[in-house]
Amino acid sequence: MVVAPKVYAQNEAIFTLELPFAVTCTLWRQRFEPVTLATGPRVTVISGLHGDELDGGYICYRLAQFLQNLPPGWALRGSVDLLPNANPLGTNIGQRFLGFNTSDLNRTFPGNSQGSSEEHLAAAIFAEALQAEVCIDIHSSNEFLIEIPQVRVVDKPHLCNLAQELGLDLVWTHSSHNWIGGTLAKALYERQVHTLVVELGAGHRLHQTWSERVVQGILHLWVRLGVLQVQATLPILPASRVADENNVFYLNAPRAGLLVLESGVKAGMTIESGQKLGQIINPTALTQIAIYAPVDGFLFTLRVHPLVYEGSLIARVVRG
C-alpha cells in the first residue's frame, strides 16, 4: 500500500549571487505545506546570518526531518519556510562575515535589491522573512563566548509571550530603540513581523543537546500558533527566566592575560556573589588576579576563549 505524503515539501534556490570566477552563492529555502489547503499561519526560521554559527543549520535540518516524517497524531496546518543558511559563502570558508568582503550581513537589513552584493542578498532574505507571521532568527555566539539557550525579543508583551512558548532558559528583552540597527530583527520589528532571536552555543561549534531543546521549543511554539496540530497533550514547559536592560550584569576582564576558570564553572549555573569563578594569569609577568561573581544570579554567557584583553567580556549574569 502506498501511503500518501502528509506534507508537501519543496527545496528551492531563491536567490543567486554571481561571484567573479565560476562560483555562485545560492540561498536555499525549504518550504513545507499541508497537502490540503493551509489553515494555519506561515512561519519562517532563518539561520546562518553569521557564517561561523552552525547550530541553526543543524536545528533546521532536524525540523525538516520532523516535518517530512510527521509522527502519528501530528498534522501540519500552516506553512513553514526554513532558510538553513543565509550566508553560504561565509559558512563555506568558515568566516563570520560575508566572505567576499568583511561586511556583517546582520547589519545590512532591510537591504536593497538595487544595491551592493550584500544589500542585494539581505533584501532577498528580508523578502522571505516578511512573508512570515512569526520569524525565528537563530544565532550562536562567536568563537569567544558560549550562550545557554535563550531568546531575545523587543520588550512587548505579545513578543515576550511568544518567547516563553519556546521554553528556553532565558528570555532577554530589550527596548526597540536599543535594538541594534541593521539587524534582521530590528528591520522586521519595524515592519510588524513578530521576530524571536534565538541564541545558543558558540561559534564554530555544534551543541547538539541544546540544539535539540531549541527544536522541541520551536515545535511547541508552532503548535501554540496553529502551524502544527497534535492529538496528544503538550508537556508544560518550565517558565523561562526573564532578563531585561536593568538586571543583567556584565563581567569584564580587569586586565589582559589567560582566563583560567575554576573547575565546574560553566554556562547555565547559578552563582553566588563573591564566588570565585577563575583567575586571569600572565605567564610572562607571573601575575594573577582572581575573578569573583559580582552578584547572585544565573550565568548565561561565559567566555570559552582563554585569551583576554582588558575589558574583554568574561560573563553575563542575570541577577536573582
Q: Which stretch binds Zn ion (CB under 5 A): 50-58, 185-193, 210-218, 310-318?
A: 50-58
Name the minimum Å distance from CB 5 to Zn ion.
34
What is the Rg, in whole angstroms, of the alpha carbon atoms belonging to the chain? 21
Closest to Zn ion by CB, 79 vs 141, is 141
- Per the CB < 8 A criterion, the answer to whether 195 and 48 are in contact is no
List the helix and strand counts (H, then E) for the chain.
6, 19
Cα four-point dihedral sign 123, 124, 126, 130: positive
Name the minimum Å distance from CB 144 to Zn ion.
12
- Per the CB < 8 A criterion, the answer to whether 120 and 101 are in contact is no
- Per the CB < 8 A criterion, the answer to whether 266 and 279 are in contact is no
Of all residues in the shown chain, the one whose CB is closest to Zn ion is: 139
At residue 241, what are phi and psi to the nearest 5 degrees? -65, 155
Q: Which stretch binds Zn ion (CB under 5 A): 44-52, 114-122, 169-177, 272-280?
A: 44-52
Please choose, from the candidates 141, 142, 169, 173, the residue with its C-alpha nearest in 3D space to the C-alpha of residue 155.
Answer: 173
Does the protein bind Zn ion through residue 50 (CB under 5 A)? yes
Name the minimum Å distance from CB 53 to Zn ion.
5
CB atoms within 10 A of CB 114: 7
Q: Which stretch binds Zn ion (CB under 5 A): 33-41, 46-54, 125-133, 243-251?
A: 46-54
The interface mask with Zn ion, positions 102-141, x = CB under 5 A, is -------------------------------------x--
Name the minimum Å distance from CB 255 to Zn ion.
28
Closest to Zn ion by CB, 184 vs 280, is 184
CB atoms within 10 A of CB 147: 27
Name the minimum Å distance from CB 311 to Zn ion.
21
Closest to Zn ion by CB, 124 vs 145, is 145
Closest to Zn ion by CB, 142 vs 288, is 142
State the angle between helix axes of 55-68 and 208-225 in degrees (0 to 180), rounded to the nearest 10.
50
Residue 186 sits at the vertex; the CA angle it makes with 133 and 117, to the nearest 5 degrees, is 100
Closest to Zn ion by CB, 139 vs 316, is 139
Name the minimum Å distance from CB 204 to Zn ion.
12
Closest to Zn ion by CB, 139 vs 220, is 139
Which chain residues interact with Zn ion by CB under 5 A? Answer: 50, 53, 139
